[in-house]
């Protein structure tokens, strides 16, 4: 489906909603936009909204990456880096350049997710899991993290990405190894502690993806309705 422009007021509201879903950092209050840049002149209002959606979804994934490494330190230690921060930066860089971990070379998006959740996988499971999620989201946006006026998105692919994130979150919470242990520790509900921050981050990602998928579907539907209304009202269509 083609990403058609929406009004500036609507785009501003949507951008606020999207950034509002993002977990705030220390000292941050309210929606977070972007500084002005030259490439924004090549973006429609809707392009800006989608660009913010991808940015915030990657930010949520990076938050999950840090949380999962803290809950599962054995995973980042498999990489041979000196500390957790180095492990996080290593995965971020891989996502930014879209080069998967060396032991997963040749695999992409959901293929990497499947391996990351395979009990027999012996590599850095956290790094593979987050990379697979990021690659899935980016692939659904035509392999891009910034969208421009010449870009067109398929709402079904974005919707499918949301469902893949849902499935991955469920598998993360339930998949176990041959000894009956969870492959990765995430949410915690016990007499001593309750930590549902993982669930909240996944929910924010899914919500953003679903919003964009619905907007893409609505844009296409409105094109047909507007055309039919024009015919009913005998309105001529503009030619210039």
Rounded average pLDDT per 10-residue block, the chain, 240 residues: 48 50 50 67 82 96 97 96 97 96 94 96 97 97 91 91 94 93 83 74 96 80 48 50
* Other CB atoms within 10 A of residue 219 CB: 18
Instruction: Enter the pTM of the model.
Output: 0.77
The predicted structure's pLDDT at residue 240 = 52
The answer to whether residues 5 and 44 touch, using CB atoms and an 8 Å cutoff, is: yes
Give me the half-sphere count of Cα atoms (radius 13 Å) on the Cβ side of residue 134.
27
Query: How far apart (Å, rounded) are the C-alpha atoms in residues 59 and 197?
Result: 14
- Amino acid 213: pLDDT: 93
Contact by Cβ (8 Å): 15, 43: no
Q: Please classify residue 83 by burial: count the beta carbons closer than 10 Å to its beta carbon, then call 0-12 exposed, 13-18 middle and 19+ buried.
A: exposed
- Tell me if residue 103 falls in helix, strand or coil: helix
Task: Give the Cα separation of 156 and 158 in Å (integer).
Answer: 5
Tell me the sheet residues that pair with 195: 188
- pLDDT for the residue numbered 26: 43
Residue 18 phi/psi, 5-degree rounding, is -65, -50
Residue-level pLDDT at 46: 85
Per-residue confidence (pLDDT) for residue 44, from 0 to 100: 82
Contact predicate 75/68, CB 8 Å? yes
């Amino acid at each position: 489906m083609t990403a058609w422009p929406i009004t500036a007021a609507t785009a501003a509201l949507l951008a606020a909603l999207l950034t509002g879903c993002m977990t705030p950092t220390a000292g941050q209050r309210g929606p977070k936009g972007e500084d002005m840049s030259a490439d924004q002149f090549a973006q429609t209002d809707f392009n800006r909204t989608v660009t913010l959606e991808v940015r915030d979804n990657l930010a949520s994934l990076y938050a999950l990456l840090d949380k999962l490494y803290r809950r599962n330190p054995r995973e980042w230690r498999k990489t041979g880096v000196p500390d957790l921060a180095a492990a996080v930066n290593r995965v971020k860089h891989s996502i930014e350049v879209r080069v998967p971990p060396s032991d997963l070379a040749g695999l992409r998006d959901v293929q990497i997710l499947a391996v990351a959740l395979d009990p027999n996988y012996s590599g850095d499971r956290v790094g593979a899991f987050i990379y697979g999620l990021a690659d899935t989201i980016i692939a659904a946006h035509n392999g891009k993290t910034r969208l421009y006026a010449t870009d067109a998105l398929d709402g079904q692919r974005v919707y499918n990405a949301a469902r893949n994130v849902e499935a991955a979150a469920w598998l993360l919470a339930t998949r176990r190894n041959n000894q009956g242990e969870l492959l990765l520790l995430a949410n915690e509900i016990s007499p001593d502690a309750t930590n549902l921050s993982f669930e909240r981050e996944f929910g924010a990602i899914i919500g953003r993806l679903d919003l964009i998928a619905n907007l893409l579907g609505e844009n296409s539907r409105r094109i047909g309705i507007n055309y039919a209304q024009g015919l009913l009202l005998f309105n001529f269509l503009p030619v210039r």
